[in-house]
Amino acid sequence: MKASSLKELRDELKIYPPEQLQALCIRLAKYKKENKELLTYLLFQADDEQGYIEAVKEEIDLGFEGINMKNTYLIKKGLRKILKDTNKYIKYSGIKTTELDLLVHFCRRVRTSKIPLSRHVALKNIYARQVAKIETGLSKLHEDIQIDYQDDLMFLKA
């Protein structure tokens, strides 16, 4: 079965009455956890973006507390899991400043934790990719907003 384009879906959804749209949303949320999480964000958390950012930062902090520091493989695995969840939350929001706030927080936690970046190439690469992602996202924003993030970026590059 071929999926329809977004335009076709949008045009078709305009025809449906609100009760049927609600039923479609509930049915969509039943089948995939990610759909349910996105719907939760849109309904309950999209109005308070700052609160959402703080909640995700707390989850990132909990992830860092749970990282097993016994060897590099386990550290790398833990970082990738935290990063996967962080990127999922960034995708839900879709706001560039939220993306920057969360990635800066992630990188700041990597820098302040006892993760041996200088001794392991894989860990250094994970960190470097996120800093590059921050720089790319920052270049797309207005100059006034870029100035707000310059200090963070200097700390991350040091």
The DSSP result for 50-116, as a single string, is HHHHHHHHHHHHHHHHT---SSHHHHHHHHHHHHHHHHHHHHHH--HHHHHHHHHHHHHHHHHTT--
- Report the pLDDT averaged over residues 36-58: 92
Give the predicted TM-score (pTM) of the model.
Answer: 0.87
Q: According to the model, what pLDDT value does residue 114 have? A: 84
- Report the pLDDT averaged over residues 59-73: 93
Q: How far is CA 60 from CA 7, 85, 94, in A?
A: 36, 8, 18
Q: According to the model, what pLDDT value does residue 146 have? A: 83
- Using 50, 70 and 90 to split pLDDT, how confident is the model at 155? confident
Q: What is the mean pLDDT of the chain?
A: 90
Residue 73 corresponds to which tokens in the numbers above?
A: 């493989």
- Report the pLDDT averaged over residues 52-81: 94
